[in-house]
Structure 1
Amino acid sequence: MLQTKQKVLRSFYYPVMPIADLQDGPKPFKIMGENIVLWLDEEQKPAAAIDRCCHRTAKLSKGELRNGCIVCPYHGWSFNRDGKCTWFPQSELEDPPKVYKIQGYHCEERYGYVWVALAAPITELPKFRYSDNPEFRKVDEFYEVIHCAGLRLMENSFDVAHVNFVHKNTFGDVDNPKPPKVTITSNDWGFEAYMEIPVHNKLNQEVKALNMDADRTVRKQVSEWFMPFIRQTNITYPTGLIHSIVTCTTPIDDDTCQLVQFVYRNDREEDVPATSIIAFDRKVVDEDMEVLETTETNVSLDITKKLENHMLSDHPGILMRKMLLALLEKHGEQEVY
């Protein structure tokens, strides 16, 4: 699937930038192949619009702010969060004509990030477990570009058969390649997959992120998929520790995404420093990307064939593909390769 060619995917919210990055002025970003500009309005709420002035097509992200509006660096035209031109200094008109406008986008702040939808959203922003629970802390981990399609990473997140091979140096067991049973419960905009995974604790021995000494353990894992490219994996260890990973892949173009990842944990900084938690997940992400960035971005699971023994009809990746294809069909689209 070429992610920028499916119009309905523009109708979802994606995290594009930490809200803190906008404190010193407007910033550019590319989402779904579109160049946009982000800024904070008069109420310090994030705003997003096309990064091109309607006058002489200059990049607005090179400009500055005036009364919560983005000001073009070329001729000083100003635009509000709705895209309306509020002032242009070459005219004495107090209210510029309505045709003087740029494309504004849906923009919200949540979980410390700016979220943008390029078209009218068809679903709300995801609600993450533990985000409002005072017994959990939030650790921001990664904000970086990856050379991998969003769907490819989502499929990988629910493909437990890869664990014992890709992650054999951290927590996988290559001598026990049979994947665990997965129980799936679907909903309107995704699904929940439950599994119990026996793992080595080799990675924990290196970075001490789990605050436990056992060589092996069983991870009880509830992974939630939020259509199209967001997942939350909630891992419960026998000690009662919950390590809940939120991973978002925001499409930049057809070959790259912005990876946004943060974690919720029911422990304390003095027991396990955030640096250890980040190092723990850094190893896992690096192992995944070493493989995923070698794959072809426009090739997804073939739901018509059982190419692998683990690709059964109830495999999460198969259900993911079926739900996305149903969404495309509902909106009169076909999958573009």
Structure 2
Amino acid sequence: MLVTQQPVLRRFWYALMPMSYLDEGPKPFTLLGEKLVLWKQADGSPAALQDRCCHRTAQLSKGFVQDGNIVCGYHGWAYDCSGACVKIPQNPGSAIPPGSKVKPFHCKEQYGYVWVALEDPLRDIPHFPEDGAPGYRRIFQFYQTWKTSPVRVMENSFDNSHFSFVHKANFGILDQPLPAPYEFRDTDYGFEAETTVPIRNPEASFRVTGTTEAITHRHLINRYYLPFCRRFGCSYPASGIEHIIYNCATPIDDENMVLVQWLYRNDSEEACSTQELIDWDAAITLEDRDILEATDPDACIDTRRRVEFHMPSDRPGLMIRKQLMDLLTAHGEVEVFRT
């Protein structure tokens, strides 16, 4: 599926970048092939416009913020969050030409990130119940550009059959390749998948897992949020530690995406430091990145095309593909792919 060619995907919210990045000034971002400028308004809220001045097409992201408006760095034309031109410094006191406007986009802050929807959203931003809940701390783990597709990342997130191989240097058990089966539950946002998985627990992982067992278990309640968000709901029964990850695979274009990752823990900084947790998950995430960037980003979601062959443990990935295909069909679209 070529994500930039599927209009319905423009009708979802995507996490673009940490709000803190906008403290430095306006930033560019490409979402589904659409070039945007993001900036922080006077009230601290984010705004998003097409990154193209209506005067001489200069990128607004090359400009600056003044009085909460984005100012073009070429001739100083200023725009508010609705995209309306509010100032032409060369013509003080004169009426601004009708239609002097830049295309605006839905934009808001949530979970410390800028979120954008290119068209009227079909549903709200996924709910992270742990965010702000008593007993949990939030850690911003990753904000990385990957050369792969959101579909690949989403299905990999639910794929228990790759642990023994991709993660054999980490927690995977090479001589136990049989994946733990999931119990699935349909939801209004996608689906929920529950299982218990045995993992290796080397000494370097003791503070992360909260146990010194050589082989311990993860109880997983994972969630898929259509189209490209997921929850990795991990708890360690031996210690009671919860290690809950949320990912957004934000599509830049048909071959690149941004991986956004939040972590929520129910322990303290003293029990396991932020940097320890970032480093531990980074090793795992980089193993996934290495193999996913070696796959074709044009992942086939219409399985009738028989582009790939499947095994029983691929069920969650096939569920993701079916839900995406059903979404396209419901909006009168067919899968667009490379011929």
Q: TM-score range by the shorter chain?
A: over 0.9
Q: Which runs of 5+ in 1 are unaligned?
A: none
Structure 2 residues without counterparts, runs of 5 or longer: none
The 2-side partners of 1:287 and 1:150 are apart by 16
Cα distance change of structure 1 residues 33 and 78 upon mapping to structure 2, 3 Å threshold: same
Compared with structure 1, are the counterparts of its residues 301 and 280 closer, same or farther at alpha carbon in structure 2 (3 Å cutoff)? farther
**What is the rounded CA distance, in whole Å, between the counterparts of 2:234 and 2:313 in structure 1?**
23
Mapping 1:279-318, distance limit 5 Å: 279-300=279-300, 303-304=303-304, 307-311=309-313, 315-318=315-318
Q: Which whole-Å deviations, capped at 9, do the CAs of 1:69-102 have from their partners, x for residues lacking one?
A: 1111111111100101111123245652440000
Aligned-partner Cα distance in 1 for 2:94–2:267:
56
TM-score of the superposed pair, with normalisation by structure 1:
0.95
| Match of residue 41 from structure 1 | 41
Q: Give the drift of 1:307.
A: 2.8
CA shift, 1:161, in A, is 0.9
For the residues of structure 1 that align with 2:50 and 2:204, how far apart are their CA atoms? 48
The within-5 A match list for 1:239-258 is 239-258=239-258
Cα displacement (A) at 1:264: 0.1
2:231 aligned partner: 232
Partner SS, residue 303 of structure 2: coil
1:87-236 alignment runs, 5 A limit:
87-93=87-93, 96-202=96-202, 205=204, 208-236=207-235
- Shift of the alpha carbon at 1:188? 2.5
Q: CA deviation at 1:127?
A: 0.4
- Distance in 2, matches of 1:18 and 1:173, equals 35
Match of 1:277 in 2: 277
Aligned equivalents of 2:128, 2:84: Cα separation in 1: 34
- Structure 2 CA distance for partners of 1:98 and 1:185, relative to 1, 3 Å: farther
* TM-score, normalised by the number of residues in structure 2: 0.94
Residue type of the alignment partner of 2:169? N
Report if aligned partners of 2:138, 2:262 keep a CA contact under 8 Å in 1: yes
Q: Percent identity?
A: 41
**RMSD of aligned Cα (Å):** 1.6
Q: Which residue of 2 aligns with 1:57?
A: 57
Query: Residues 93 and 325 (structure 1 numbering): CA distance in 2 closer, same or farther, change over 3 Å?
Result: farther
| TM-superposed deviation, 1:199 | 1.1
Contact 2:8–2:328 (Cα < 8 Å) also in 1 = yes
The number of residues matched between the two structures is: 334
SS at match of 1:299: coil
Distance 1:152 1:266 in 2: 29
CA shift, 1:219, in A, is 0.8
Identify the residue that residue 10 of structure 1 maps to in structure 2: 10
Q: Secondary structure at the match of 1:23?
A: helix
Letter in 1 for 2:198: P
Shift of 1:244: 0.1
CA contact (8 A) 1:11 1:121 kept: yes
SS across alignment from 2:81: coil
Shift of 1:192: 0.7
Quote the Cα distance in structure 1 between the aligned partners of 2:21 and 2:311. Answer: 46
* CA gap 1:10/1:301 in 2 versus in 1, 3 angstroms: closer
How far residue 59 of structure 1 moved from its aligned partner, in angstroms, is: 0.8
| Separation (CA, whole Å) in 2 of partners of 1:147 and 1:161 | 22
Secondary structure of the residue aligned to 1:327 is helix
Query: Does 2:58 align with 1:83?
Result: no
User: 1:107 & 1:124 partners in 2: Cα distance?
Assistant: 12
